[in-house]
Amino acid sequence: MSENTDIKLVEAPEGVSGAGFFATSFEKVIGLARKHSLWPLPFATSCCGIEFMATMGSHYDISRFGSERPSFSPRQADILLVMGTIAKKMGPVVKQVYEQMSEPRWVVAVGACACSGGIFDTYSVLQGIDRVVPVDVYVPGCPPRPEQILDGLMRVQDLAENESLRRRNSPEYQALLASYNIK
């Protein structure tokens, strides 16, 4: 049997193993479950939404990452994927959708328009959604390639896996939400 150097084996998590059992911390198990069961809520307004649709297709297959079920209800979603140009009138809608999501929740700004307003430096375009909701991952590009969107999803998976179970109750997190006037 020849050794294939392209195959990378994942290291087992810290824990105690024996004949027929493996013990680890509850936090690591919850993190692993969160990592592989993220449900995205696509909030697509422009061309970045088309790239997200390509990410859902068979060639890129977002389902490999446990996100094959896009949710169109904020109450059943973990990740808010904001894609495209967001007008200032839509800012309160984005904030309302974010507030309706249950904890833990993550936000991904996909594309130049969602990250920074893009080429639309006008009075009517929100210059980045981080003005209305806290953003966890920025995916640059105009529009970003599906590989970039998958990379952003993998960054959220890293956050979900390694986040402390008590982080969302911390004074720092509460202060962050208060700075956005979110309860």
In a domain, 156, yes or no: yes
pLDDT category, 67, cuts 50, 70, 90? confident
The whole-angstrom separation of Cα 118 and Cα 121 is 7
Count of beta carbons in the 10 Å neighbourhood of residue 45: 17
Q: Are 173 and 35 in contact (CB under 8 A)?
A: no
CATH number at residue 95: 3.40.50.12280
In a domain, 2, yes or no: no
The predicted model scores a pTM of 0.84
In a domain, 127, yes or no: yes
Domain that holds residue 125: 39-160
In a domain, 34, yes or no: no
In a domain, 142, yes or no: yes
Residue-level pLDDT at 50: 87
What digits encode the pLDDT tens for the residues 100-142? 998 899 999 999 999 999 899 999 999 999 999 999 999 999 9
Q: DSSP labels for 74-136?
A: GGG-SEEEEES--BGGGHHHHHHHHHHSPSS-EEEEESHHHHH-TT--STTB-S-GGGTS--S
Residue-level pLDDT at 2: 56
Number of domains in the chain: 1
Residue-level pLDDT at 90: 95
In a domain, 67, yes or no: yes
Give 8 or 134, the one with higher predicted confidence.
Answer: 134
What digits encode the pLDDT tens for the residues 86-108? 999 999 999 999 999 988 999 99
pLDDT at 144 over 80: yes
In a domain, 179, yes or no: no
Mean pLDDT estimate for the chain: 88
